[in-house]
Amino acid sequence: MKKPQLFYIEWTDALTFSEEWLTKEDVCKKYKNEDWLIKQVGYILNETRDYILVASKYNPQENNQDKFAEITKIPTTWIKKKKLITSS
């Protein structure tokens, strides 16, 4: 198995608010500028036109049985930045 590559990814997550009852106008005004930008480092396991699968943890094993954990599936339209991290 090819060694997985480490990436820095910025993506905007969905938001859910349930603090109080508001009118539509109040909701639009109050949350107009809300944005939840996630900054994550991880290993991209699969990338399609619709999404990427990112693992935050990588455990290299003997006999090519590498293990991954903390998997996040991110819609590609939510991704703002993706950069390969290289070692010097």
Question: What's the whole-model pTM score?
Answer: 0.78
Domain membership flag for residue 1: no
Range(s) of the domain holding residue 59: 6-84
Domain membership flag for residue 76: yes
Report how many domains make up the chain: 1
- Please tell me the predicted confidence (pLDDT) of residue 22: 87
Token pair of 76, please?
């590609």
For 53-68, the pLDDT digits (tens) are 999 999 988 777 889 9
Angle at 66 between CA 51 and CA 54, to 5 degrees: 20
Mean per-residue pLDDT of the chain: 89
Domain membership flag for residue 58: yes
For 14-34, the pLDDT digits (tens) are 888 777 888 999 888 888 777
Q: Is 5 exposed, middle or buried (0-12, 13-18, 19+ CB in 10 A)?
A: exposed
- Please tell me the predicted confidence (pLDDT) of residue 28: 86
Domain membership flag for residue 29: yes
88: pLDDT strictly greater than 70:
no
Strands (DSSP E) found in the chain: 6-12, 37-47, 51-59, 67-75, 79-84
Domain membership flag for residue 17: yes
Mean pLDDT value of segment 4-16: 91
Domain membership flag for residue 30: yes
